[in-house]
Amino acid sequence: MRTNVVIIGAGPAGLMLGRLLELAGVDAIILERKSPDYVLGRIRAGVLEQGTVDLMDRAEASTRLHAEGLIHHGIELSFDGDRHRLDFTKLIGRHVMIYGQTEVTRDLMNVRKAPTIYEAEDVELHNFDGHSPHVTYKKGGITHRIDCDYIAGCDGFHGVSRQSVPEKALTTFERIYPFGWLGILVDQPPVADELIYAHNARGFALCSQRSHTRSRYYVQVPADENVENWSDTRFWDELRLRLNPETAKALKTGPSIEKSIAPLRSFVAEPLRFGRLFLAGDAAHIVPPTGAKGLNLAMSDVATLADALIEATIEKSQAGVDAYSAKVLQRIWKAERFSWWMTSLLHTFPETGAFGRRIQRAEFDYLCSSHAAQQSLAENYTGLPS
């Protein structure tokens, strides 16, 4: 086979890139090592920036999003029970949309017409530092080859794309946090109309949602915690202790339909172009989920990459692909900063002690009293320009 672009990974980033190329008349084949059901079984983010919503419109995949997504005009922050709401619409005239990553993936799957090859095993990238790249994979015990002009690595943090880059060509920056998020999904109405981010001496908590009838809740736990140690009862009891009394009383509990622990890390790889291979999404960067940047940052990456590949294929100009890495890294590092800041404000850190908590409290009080600080948070949370 031959195509213009081989995309590694059929998560939302890879599917969005494929769809944008498809609509522009650029041929692209997506390779995914898992099955469609496995991909749709991943429970991930649910806060979409306006830029991501606009991109779903561009991809002609937003009908259900606009029908079922929940517009949120702000968030609530809580510190040891003290509450403060930030109204994004009043502060900067923007908002976010609540719509699960699984649903974004499903919508992009449903509109795609070009080939997506699932359960592609032993994917290998060849000659991407030359003029004739190709990709090989196994399907049904048979090795296949796809020749192409470009390769897009959208296959996540543990994927083959970044691992294929020579170590000496790559610089990585990483911070591993000493905690994770224990999250559950429950078929109960959300405890509030908007997300609640809560700092407590016992640890961070988040009240999130997927719809009017399905809620997602998280509590901070040690990085080495085992999910089997947490019964539903223990989770609900702990969550209540970290929320203000009014919110805790209003909480509607029920049996979890999914329960998992997500480790937290900050990670950036540089550069993001290696000849004819480009990295995007989690293959290029990881952010703590505190700032709701992961999916949105990936979508910003592939929007820029799609424009660059369309320009290179149709207009025969290399300007976009040459500028890709530097352009997206500017936004990536700003999102990394914001996610690190939100994480630092809202979580308990074993090493900070009493002084560290006083600094966190001062930061919270300043945020509550400063219109400029609130505008800064709102600007970053709803999404910086690409």
Residues 6+ apart with CB under 8 A from 245: 81
Catalytic residue among 190, 199, 289, 347: 289
Which of the residues 72, 199, 259, 347 is marked catalytic? 72
Q: Identify whether the C-beta of residue 154 lies closer than 8 Å to the C-beta of residue 169.
A: no
Cα angle vertex 42, ends 36, 44, to 5°? Answer: 140
366 noted as active-site residue:
no
CA angle 39, 139, 103 (to 5 degrees): 15
Sign of CA dihedral 334, 73, 70, 231: positive
DSSP string over 192-227: SSS-EEEE-TT--EEEEESSSS-EEEEEEEETT--G
Active site residue 259: no
Which residues, including other chains, have CB under 8 Å from residue 159's CB and lie 6 or more apart? 8, 9, 153, 282, 283
Cα separation of 228 and 279, whole Å? 35
The CA-based angle 244-247-249, given to 5 degrees, is: 105
SS3 state of residue 281: helix
Catalytic residue among 197, 217, 218, 324: 197
252 is annotated as an active-site residue: no
Active site residue 293: yes
Q: CB-based burial of residue 335 (10 Å sphere; 0-12 exposed, 13-18 middle, 19+ buried)?
A: buried
Is residue 381 flagged as an active site residue? yes
- CA separation for the pair 43, 37 (Å, rounded): 12
Max intra-chain CA distance, the chain:
64
Strand partners, 70: 98
Classify residue 114 by its DSSP letter: S
Given 259, 293, 324, 347, the catalytic residue: 293
Residue where the block lists tokens 């009017």: 212
Closest CA to 309 of 13, 8, 22: 22
- The catalytic site residues sit at 72, 197, 289, 293, 381
